[in-house]
């Protein structure tokens, strides 16, 4: 018997395991795939220290019409999924009202504040293999229209005043000097100076996983067939073998409902699916920094495998067939700004971001069972918040005072408790 079973070997599960091992707990980590190969793998590779404002549901008529008529690149929906998605999306819209959103931001900001600190801790412990993947010079929000640039500068100033977020403003000549191979069509950019970027997110999770193994953690490769409460803890069946532990952590991202619902936890979770593709740059061309084109809705990031284009949000069922329509639109828009070469990957990568209607993750104890914990629902910031979540869970599970107040992230907020 282990002290802890963790279901899910993405960045949240691996980080939680590391923090528990450091506290003297024995840990068994279970996943049907290799560590870090699902949601943790497919992102723009940003540790978003500036991301104090989670993605709200759009409330302006122009954006809603663009999404509703399938004109938007940043968001689209599958009509057949709407009946099942409608209840959590309606609550998402409600929680995005100005009054509610101000509360969400105030509660969310301290969690984002742990992002760089907790990644830095694991990077240092994981050693050169992790360190070589990291760049510490921020990323760029690049604007096509001067009006949108000015509006977002105002928001950035407010975030600097309230949360201490660092930024600089670049006009088009300064941005062109920084990225000389940009073609044009931009008015300028906001340079978020606090975040770090990663040239291979999956490899960084892999480096963290090696640290997990070095500390004595056990990995079991296989799908967990449920999770069952026992007299002295929890058990699960993996590849025909029963694993037991005194405590259990569900860190399965979009697959968490498969385990939670049989235990009686019906949470209003939904997914925002996303896609990415790698491209070779045109001959003699280089992209040096991560750029996000917010007026279209995609990111362009230099990665070890090539230039990665990542899409916005697709509201669809988790396991529905891929519909990489947004990727084609994003690629077309990106070629207007930068000389991309041919595609590198045989097929677009597809993943699912696990989301909650109030835009905040669930971190902490499940209220109806002893010894059951969850770290799920991080939406667009799972890669950013994985180590912070792992730290907080390990602290809660071992009776320590948590680094920040985790009461706003309790599961009970969705269960009427």
- Residues 6 or more apart whose CB falls under 8 angstroms from that of 36 comprise 9, 10, 11, 14, 201, 202, 204, 205, 206, 208, 209
Indicate the pairing of strand 27-31 with strand 218-221.
parallel
Report which secondary-structure segment, H or E, holds 213: helix 201-214
Break the chain down into helix, strand, coil percent, rounded to 5.
Answer: 40, 25, 35
Calpha distance 399→402 (Å, rounded): 9
Which residue in 352, 357, 355, 353 sits closest to 414, CA to CA? 357
pLDDT digits (tens, 9 = 90+) for 243-259: 999 999 999 999 999 99
- Give residue 68's pLDDT: 67
pLDDT digits (tens, 9 = 90+) for 111-141: 999 999 999 999 999 999 999 999 999 999 9
Phi first, then psi: give them for residue 281, nearest 5 degrees. -70, 155
In 82-206, DSSP assigns E strands to 134-135, 139-143, 167-171, 188-192, 196-198
Calpha distance 44→40 (Å, rounded): 10
pLDDT digits (tens, 9 = 90+) for 327-352: 999 999 999 999 999 999 999 999 99
Give span(s): CATH 3.30.9.10, the chain. 61-97+131-198+269-355
What is the four-CA torsion angle of 110, 114, 115, 119, rounded to 10 degrees? -170
Calpha distance 215→211 (Å, rounded): 6
Calpha distance 85→412 (Å, rounded): 21
Calpha distance 163→78 (Å, rounded): 37
Q: Which residue has the tokens 């977020």?
A: 165
- Give residue 69's pLDDT: 58
Number of residues that make up the chain: 417
Which residue in 175, 170, 176, 173 sits closest to 190, CA to CA? 170
Q: Specify whether domain 2-42+203-266+358-414 bears CATH 3.50.50.60.
A: yes
What is the four-CA torsion angle of 314, 44, 40, 92, rounded to 10 degrees? -40
Specify which residues 300 forms β-bridges with. 291, 309
- Give residue 416's pLDDT: 74
pLDDT digits (tens, 9 = 90+) for 377-402: 999 999 999 999 999 999 999 999 99
3-class state of residue 228 by DSSP: strand
Distances (CA, A) of 42 to 134, 190, 215, 271: 16, 24, 27, 14
- Give residue 75's pLDDT: 87
Give span(s): CATH 3.50.50.60, the chain. 2-42+203-266+358-414
Residue numbers of the chain with a pLDDT score lower than 70: 61, 64-65, 67-71, 417
Could you say which architecture CATH assigns to the domain 61-97+131-198+269-355?
Answer: 2-Layer Sandwich (3.30)
Tell me the pLDDT of the chain averaged across its residues: 95
Which residue in 259, 227, 253 sits closest to 385, CA to CA? 253
In 339-406, DSSP assigns E strands to 340-343, 349-355, 362-365, 372-376
Q: Which of the 8 DSSP states describes residue 305?
A: T
Distances (CA, A) of 299 to 173, 202, 251: 21, 17, 26
- Give residue 71's pLDDT: 60
Calpha distance 189→184 (Å, rounded): 12
Read off the pTM: 0.96
- Give residue 257's pLDDT: 97
- Give residue 253's pLDDT: 97
């Amino acid at each position: 018997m282990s002290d802890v079973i963790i279901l899910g070997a993405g960045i949240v599960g691996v980080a939680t395991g590391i923090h528990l091992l450091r506290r003297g707990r024995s840990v068994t980590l279970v996943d049907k795939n290799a560590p870090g190969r699902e949601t943790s793998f497919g992102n723009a590779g940003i540790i978003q220290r500036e991301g104090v404002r989670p993605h709200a549901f759009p409330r302006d008529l122009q954006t809603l019409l663009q999404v509703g008529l399938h004109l938007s690149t940043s968001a689209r929906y599958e009509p057949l999924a709407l009946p099942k998605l409608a209840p959590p999306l309606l609550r998402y819209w409600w929680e995005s009202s100005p009054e509610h959103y101000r509360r969400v931001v105030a509660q969310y900001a301290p969690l984002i504040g742990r992002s760089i600190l907790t990644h830095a801790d694991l990077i240092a412990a994981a050693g050169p293999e992790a360190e070589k993947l990291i760049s510490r010079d921020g990323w760029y929000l690049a604007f096509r229209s001067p009006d949108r640039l000015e509006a977002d500068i105002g928001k950035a100033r407010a975030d600097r005043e309230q949360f201490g977020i660092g930024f600089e403003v670049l006009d088009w000549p300064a941005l062109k000097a920084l990225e000389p191979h940009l073609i044009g069509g931009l008015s300028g950019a906001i340079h978020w100076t606090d975040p770090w970027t990663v040239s291979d997110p999956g490899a960084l999770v892999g480096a963290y996983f090696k640290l997990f193994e070095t500390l004595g953690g056990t990995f079991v490769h296989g799908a967990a067939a449920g999770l069952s409460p026992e007299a002295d803890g929890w058990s699960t069946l993996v590849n025909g073998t029963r694993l037991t532990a005194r405590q259990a952590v569900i860190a399965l991202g979009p697959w968490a409902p498969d385990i939670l619902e049989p235990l009686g936890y019906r949470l209003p979770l939904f997914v925002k699916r996303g896609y990415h593709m790698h491209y070779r740059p045109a001959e003699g061309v280089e992209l040096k920094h991560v750029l996000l084109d917010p007026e279209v809705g995609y990111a362009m990031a230099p990665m070890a495998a090539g230039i990665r284009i990542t899409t916005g949000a697709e509201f669809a069922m988790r396991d529905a067939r891929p519909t990489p329509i947004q990727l084609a639109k994003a690629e077309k828009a990106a070629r207007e700004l930068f000389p991309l070469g041919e595609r590198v990957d045989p097929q677009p990568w597809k993943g699912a971001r696990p989301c909650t209607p109030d835009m905040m993750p669930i971190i902490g104890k499940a209220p109806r069972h002893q010894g059951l914990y969850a770290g799920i629902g991080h939406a667009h910031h799972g890669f950013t918040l994985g180590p912070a979540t792992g730290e907080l869970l390990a602290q809660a599970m071992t009776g320590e005072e948590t680094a920040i107040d985790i009461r706003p992230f309790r599961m009970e907020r969705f269960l009427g408790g």
